[in-house]
Structure 1
Amino acid sequence: MIAADYPTWFPDEEIDGTYGFDEGALRRVAPVPAPEGFAALWRGWNARIRAVAPRFEAGEYASFGTHEAAEIRYTAGDGTVLGAWIARPRDRAPRVVVVHSHGYGGRERPEFARVPDDAAVVFPLARGLGALNTGVGAPSERDEHVLFGIDDPQSYVLGACVRDLWLTQNIADELWGPLPHYLVGESFGGGVGALALPWDDRFIGATLVVPSFGQYDERLVAPCHGSGEAVRRYAAEHPEARGVLRLFDASSAATFARVPVRIEAALWDAHVPPPGQFGVAAGFRDRELMVLPAGHAEYPGLTEVRQRAIAGGVDHLHRSVARVSSDPR
């Protein structure tokens, strides 16, 4: 671990990105217990999406190193037409599908740093976000997006984004058959990933990087620069929203996961407060934790840390595939 001198690293930062937690205290943050009906709600949503025959059209493939990728347009469960990317190995049949989500900045193009050469990929783009879905199905502005539909669990945007992600898995099954799926998500994508992971048995593992939407008991008392600030202010004015948010707590969802998960969680992060990240990590039974010096920020040694993180995530993917390949069941 790189020795951190946060005041020197971030001299103009108004928020203490540690929120008063050292690593020991962060490791003691517990997930929020799931409310009654939590699992039934999510399992019901997943069952409905799994039953949907995917409707999609793919464009022309273009080369991206060891892969070739194409834009697709598909019809979501509520009839919204969304864009995403798919990619396949150029010279071999895939042995695993990577479901690769993104942060609140969206995604402008397919990215393959965390994708092995022998993996097919779906790149779900959250409704409202990214190069293909700006303003489609949800607002594109971050603070409006994270609050969209929050009055009703059935309409809240985070649930819609998870259901859209599951539907892209159906597309992967249509394209490449019943392969194992491995989830990769960062920030927004890490939180959505934690919400999606436990209920879909196609997933064999995941890497979640500085995951959002976890441990609302901590998030709602922590001012930040990220989407959590809009939620914190809204919940302060509308206390009834806390009941909806309990159904979308990534730390609660994590307690239902049964596959190996690698978490990359930061000691300092002024966008996604670290207690939330570590709360998500604590929820997973089979977890591998990499502690990052900081998240959502540039800092000395970042390139080296990122390289180690990516290598560790790809190794975790390979071990997850090997685990199911050797399972006699």
Structure 2
Amino acid sequence: MSIPTDHPYDFDPTYGFEFDALRALKPPEAPPHFDDFWRTRYLAALGHDPQPRLSESASSHPGWQVQDIVYTSTDEFQIGGWLLVPRSGNVRRGLVVGHGYGGRDQPDFNIPVEDTAVLFPCFRGLSRSRRPPISDDPAWHVLHDIDKPERYILGGCVEDLWLAVSVLIKLYPVLEGRIGYSGISFGGGIGALAMAFEPRIDRGHLVVPTFSNMPVWLTLPTIGSGHSVQNYQKTHRDVLETLALFDAATAATRINIPLLVAVARFDPAVAPPCQFSVANARPTSNHHQVVILDAGHFDYPGSEEQHALLLEKVRRFFRTP
């Protein structure tokens, strides 16, 4: 492994953490009402009819039938995205794929799964799910209703994911109990929060997940969304009380399905200590695998080889039984 040393940042994106120190990090303890907060939201979301509407997509691919999709999430929020169905074979599994904070302008046609219906939702306020007054700029999106725990935008995005699972089951009832989740960065943090309370997902893949170990997340320099929240905290000292409810590392301690987590030792956008707090939340075993990348949110020598190896692990992880 070769961690980048040449970079343009005025801080060290390893934050001085050696590997042993990263592996020793633990998630924060949950606030007393953490579980009740999320279980109540989950049960409410479960009662929503997502009313998925499919239409022909401008995108096309020789191996996938591509359809545009819109479904109704909580707060009557219209969530847009894409549904991919294999042109050959049978649909035997489902997969929801979350995106990073840059949003998504098309589905990922290279996702390494077979016999799988793949749903690519755009979380509320972003890309195909833009809606005023929510900003699609990550620096503002991450602050939307942060002063109201019940309304904070991250909670709505978790509900969007839960409703995405409902969409797949509504379209393909045979998929119940055979749906996975894959999410990177923003989608990784949202995924950890969602999977902690979503028994309909049977396995999850998280890459450089954010919103993790919030007490640390608020203290480390970053070019990511955490920078906005750090500035907000200067005039709102109690923000950590809200953020404790949205800690992906805390949530990960409650995930009991197989996990494949990819974390980076160098990352200017999502600090490695925060990523590793998610990876360390469960004991490593055949059901919980951790892949170490040299860097995240940064191009580096050897990245293609490392990501090719990760892609093969993902292929095996989501292989149709």
**Aligned residue for 2:45?**
49
Give the alignment partner of residue 34 of structure 1, picking from 22, 25, 30: 30
> Judging changes above 3 Å, is the alpha-carbon distance between structure 1 residues 137 and 204 closer, same or farther for their aligned structure 2 residues?
farther
C-alpha displacement of 1:115: 3.8
C-alpha displacement of 1:299: 0.6
Counterpart of 1:185 in 2: which secondary structure?
strand
For residues 162 and 298 of structure 2, the distance between their equivalents in structure 1, rounded to whole angstroms, comes to 30
**Structure 1 residue ranges without an equivalent (≥5):** 323-329
Identity %: 35
Counterpart of 2:94 in 1: which secondary structure?
strand
**Aligned residue for 2:264?**
266
C-alpha displacement of 1:206: 0.7
**Aligned residue for 1:290?**
291
Matched, 1:236 2:234: yes
Q: Residue by residue, what CA displacement relative to the aligned partner does 1:208-228 show, whole Å, maximum 9, x if unpaired?
A: 000000001211110100001
Counterpart of 1:237 in 2: which secondary structure?
coil
Counterpart of 2:119 in 1: which secondary structure?
strand
C-alpha displacement of 1:114: 2.9
**Aligned residue for 1:313?**
314
C-alpha displacement of 1:30: 0.4
Counterpart of 1:17 in 2: which secondary structure?
coil
Say how many residue pairs are matched: 315
Bigger drift between 110-119 and 147-156 goes to 110-119
Q: Residue by residue, what CA displacement relative to the aligned partner does 1:97-155 show, whole Å, maximum 9, x if unpaired?
A: 1110000010000103334121101111011112x123457211111100101111110
**Aligned residue for 1:95?**
92
- Contact 2:112/2:311 (<8 A) preserved: no
| AA partner of residue 19 (structure 2) | E
**Aligned residue for 1:75?**
72
| AA partner of residue 314 (structure 1) | R
Counterpart of 2:31 in 1: which secondary structure?
coil
Give the alignment partner of residue 54 of structure 2, picking from 58, 62, 71: 58
Give the alignment partner of residue 103 of structure 2, picking from 75, 97, 106: 106
| AA partner of residue 204 (structure 1) | D
Q: Residue by residue, what CA displacement relative to the aligned partner does 1:56-86 show, whole Å, maximum 9, x if unpaired?
A: 3111155423211211122222012221211
**Structure 2 residue ranges without an equivalent (≥5):** none
C-alpha displacement of 1:178: 3.9
Q: Residue by residue, what CA displacement relative to the aligned partner does 1:271-296 show, whole Å, maximum 9, x if unpaired?
A: 00000000011113442110000000
Give the alignment partner of residue 226 of structure 1, picking from 224, 243, 252: 224
Listed as ranges, the matches of 1:270-281 within 5 Å are 270-281=268-279
Question: With structure 1 as the length reference, what TM-score do the two structures score?
Answer: 0.92
Bigger drift between 62-71 and 102-111 goes to 62-71
> Judging changes above 3 Å, is the alpha-carbon distance between structure 1 residues 178 and 53 closer, same or farther for their aligned structure 2 residues?
farther
| AA partner of residue 36 (structure 1) | P
Listed as ranges, the matches of 1:118-129 within 5 Å are 118-129=115-126
Question: With structure 2 as the length reference, what TM-score do the two structures score?
Answer: 0.94
**Aligned residue for 1:172?**
168
Counterpart of 2:76 in 1: which secondary structure?
coil
Matched, 1:202 2:203: no
- Contact 2:112/2:314 (<8 A) preserved: no
Matched, 1:16 2:9: no
For residues 194 and 170 of structure 1, the distance between their equivalents in structure 2, rounded to whole angstroms, comes to 18
Listed as ranges, the matches of 1:208-219 within 5 Å are 208-219=206-217
Bigger drift between 206-215 and 169-178 goes to 169-178
**Aligned residue for 1:160?**
156
For residues 7 and 255 of structure 1, the distance between their equivalents in structure 2, rounded to whole angstroms, comes to 33
Matched, 1:140 2:136: yes
- Contact 1:85/1:123 (<8 A) preserved: yes
Counterpart of 2:5 in 1: which secondary structure?
helix
- Contact 1:59/1:72 (<8 A) preserved: yes
Bigger drift between 185-194 and 234-243 goes to 234-243
Bigger drift between 217-226 and 62-71 goes to 62-71
C-alpha displacement of 1:309: 1.1
| AA partner of residue 3 (structure 1) | S
Q: Residue by residue, what CA displacement relative to the aligned partner does 1:253-274 show, whole Å, maximum 9, x if unpaired?
A: 0011100111100000010000
